[in-house]
Structure formats: structure tokens, C-alpha cells
Amino acid sequence: MSVNSEMREQLRNMIATMLMVSPPEIAEGTSLAALNTSLGSAKVRLGLKRLGLALPAGAAPATFGGLLVALSSEAVPQAPEKIDSVPRSMPSGGNGGFTGLQVGLDVEDIRSMPVASDYWEHEFYRGSFSKSEIAYAVLHAEPRTHFAGFWCAKEALRKCDPAFAGVVPERTAVAHDADGRPYLTLETEAGLERLAHAVSISHTADVATAVVVLSVAAAVIVAAPAPASSAVAAIASVVAPEAAAKKPRGLAKLFGI
């Protein structure tokens, strides 16, 4: 693949828009460090997709010139990603040092989410969120606040569970149960599956954050939520079996155990 002069200008305009500078300011030595984040990488990926381009697997150009070189390189086509709803074993000594307990955390500046007049048609939102997520967010006064929370949940999932590290954002989504509590789903070849990972999302006026937790006992994709008492017992048995046996008064009162 080669990048001709017309395509080079389209790429220059795309990067200028993302870096919020004028196109003439984009030279081959222009740093792309500001786009070296999960959100920035997603914007670049979707922008390139619109132009019919894609970076080779693992490429992370540091400059605009490096981007042009990477796009001019011959890349081996990647096989379509595939995640089946099967149990996955978790590595020992996970995050925080608790064997069998994995935790992912992500924080995002709400202002970093693109401004859009129509979130249904905007390239970034169409390429990063499910229709149900867009429908949920646009019902609120400030949709970007909720989009930022959803994005954090997707990223926290990838940090929590290595099996999702290469899954594109649009294949995972945040949904809500009848009580308004969030949960995570995955789009698979068999259809939409509910994940066993617990998720909590919060935000201020400026920042959104999400935490995703998975225990070995729940390391399968499930179709329905486990009873609260079962979830508490599973986590307690992983973190501190002795403490679970003693049933501290505060925990017993809170969860009814």
C-alpha cells in the first residue's frame, strides 16, 4: 500500500483535527504523543477506517511521518478476532496481589470525548458504542458524561481481564438491568452475551471513572446475574476465607449474611 499526495493531505487534515491545530502545522516530525492513549488510538483507528486504511498490527507511530511510513508498509492481514463464551482461567497473583481476583480501573476526562451535533452519526460514537449505549446517553442533558463512563467501563474490562485486551470497543457494551444497575455485554458470533464481570461507573462534572472486578468463581460468561449473597460469598472466599467464616457484623448487616 502506498500513500499518495491526496491521501497524505487527508491524513494531515485528520490528524490536525484530532490535535486541534491547523493542517499546515502538521509536518512529518509532528508528535502524535497526545493520541497515544486508548481514546486517542480509537479516534485514529476510526479515522483511518473512514479513509479505507488500517495500521499494521502493533504499530504505534510516534510522529506524523511515522504514521505515513507505517501506512505505506506491507502488513499481513489479521484474522478476525473471535471470543467465544467459554470459561477462562485467571492468572494467579492478580491485581492487588489477590489470587483469583482481577480488578480493572479507568479514568477519563469528559472533555476529551468529541463534541458532536448528532451522536448517532458521529464517526467516533458510531464506531465505539452500541446503539443501546448511544440511545441511553442521548436521553441525558450531557451525553458526553455518560459516554465517558461507558468508555471507562470498556477500558477497565480490558485491564481486568487479559482475554479482552484485543477486543474492539464496539463489541463490548454497558447495559442496565430493571433497577438501573449497569452490567457488561459482549457481542459474539452466537449473539449478545452478558459477562460475569461486575462493573461500577461514577463521574463528576469533569471526570468519569469505572471499576471492573472478576473473581475466579465467576470467570465465565453468564446469561443471568448471580444472587447477591453468592457473589459476596465467592469474593469473600477468595480474599479472606477466615474472615468470611467469622462473618463480621458490618458485612453481615450490609449483605444480610
What's the pLDDT tens digit per position in 181-211? 999 999 988 889 999 999 999 999 999 999 9
Please work out, in degrees rounded to the nearest 5, the angle formed at the alpha carbon of residue 37 by the alpha carbons of 196 and 137. Answer: 55
Question: Once rounded to an integer, what is the mean pLDDT over residues 13-25?
Answer: 90
User: Tell me, what's the pLDDT at 254?
Assistant: 38
Mean pLDDT rounded to a whole number for the chain? 78
Confidence grade of residue 220 (pLDDT, cut at 50, 70, 90) = very low
User: What value does the mean pLDDT take over residues 239-248?
Assistant: 42
Alpha-carbon distance 111 to 133, whole Å? 18
Query: Is the four-CA dihedral 86, 92, 94, 97 of positive or negative sign?
Result: positive
Rounded distance between C-alpha atoms, residue 201 and residue 23, angstroms: 37
Give me the helices (H) in the chain, please. Answer: 5-19, 38-50, 64-72, 123-128, 131-138, 143-160, 228-239, 241-246, 249-255
Q: How far apart are CA 35 and CA 16, in angstroms?
A: 11
Burial per residue of 152-164, b for 16 or more beta-carbon CB atoms within 10 angstroms, e otherwise: bbbbbbbbbbebb
pLDDT tens-digit readout, 140-158: 999 999 999 999 999 999 9
- Cα–Cα dist 95/7, whole Å: 44
pTM: 0.66
* Percent share of the chain, pLDDT over 70: 72
> CA 170 to CA 172: how far, in whole Å?
5
- Report the 10 Å Cβ neighbour count for 1: 12
| 18 beta partners | none
Q: Is the pLDDT of residue 94 over 60?
A: no
**pLDDT tops 60 at residue 93:** no
C-alpha cell recorded at residue 25: 502545522
